[in-house]
Chain A
Amino acid sequence: AQSVAQPEDQVNVAEGNPLTVKCTYSVSGNPYLFWYVQYPNRGLQFLLKYITGDNLVKGSYGFEAEFNKSQTSFHLKKPSALVSDSALYFCAVRDPNAGKSTFGDGTTLTVKP
């Protein structure tokens, strides 16, 4: 069985500061890992994914994530937060042998001016 944990329900940062949204996972074999963002009353928007290769993955809107196999983590990062980054962020894991994704319960990011 595959699972995802997002240990923080909420992350607050000041605009211009770096941000980190944490994600740990459990899956048999090598995982496929994804980050999505959800704005109010909108669907999930894809940010980035890790499939294989370089552990540092760069995605949309200046976001990046680092895959750490030994810690089974895939934390989302951004060097300088914007107020417009305030949203709900979801981490997801997929077993390469399965089509379905398992999502965490989300982390609400609030960036204050």
Chain B
Amino acid sequence: GAGVSQTPSNKVTEKGKYVELRCDPISGHTALYWYRQSLGQGPEFLIYFQGTGAADDSGLPNDRFFAVRPEGSVSTLKIQRTERGDSAVYLCASSLFAGYETQYFGPGTRLLVL
């Protein structure tokens, strides 16, 4: 079956601009996660949704970052006033439920802020 998909695969933007990153989870998965991976590091948790609500947003670095999942399926990660330090690969994962269920990852969106 189809896995987690993310669009765009690459995004280049200028400092100060607004960007949106999209994630389509595996059909039927109720939990959705966003992580950020910088070069040479492991994925760093940002936020996760159980259904439509954000169950844990403790990893969002500041109020420039926001994510939504209005219908409990597709999610969008929004970054305002981008900074060069936001450059990273943004990974989305989904799982059947939260807890012990395996998180399946998408290919990521590589964001470069110039």
Contact = CB atoms under 8 A, between A and B. Distances in A.
A100 B42 contact: no
A33 to B, nearest CB: 10
A43 interface: yes
Interface in A11-62: 32, 34, 36, 42-46, 49, 51
B26 interface: no
A75 to B, nearest CB: 17
Interface in B21-46: 31, 33, 35, 40-45
Interface in A84-113: 90, 92, 94, 96, 98-106
Nearest to A106: B42
Interface of A is mostly: strand
B72 interface: no
A96 B101 CA distance: 10
A96 B100 contact: yes
Interface residues of B, number: 28
A100 B56 contact: yes
A46 B102 contact: yes
Nearest to B106: A43
B97 to A, nearest CB: 9
Given A44-B91, A96-B99, A102 B45 contact: yes
B102 A34 contact: yes
Contacts of A102: 45
B12 interface: no
A34 B33 CA distance: 16
Nearest to A6: B42
Nearest to A41: B107
Contacts of A106: 40-42
Contacts of A101: 33, 43, 45, 103
A99 B48 contact: yes
A43 B48 contact: no
A68 B59 CA distance: 29
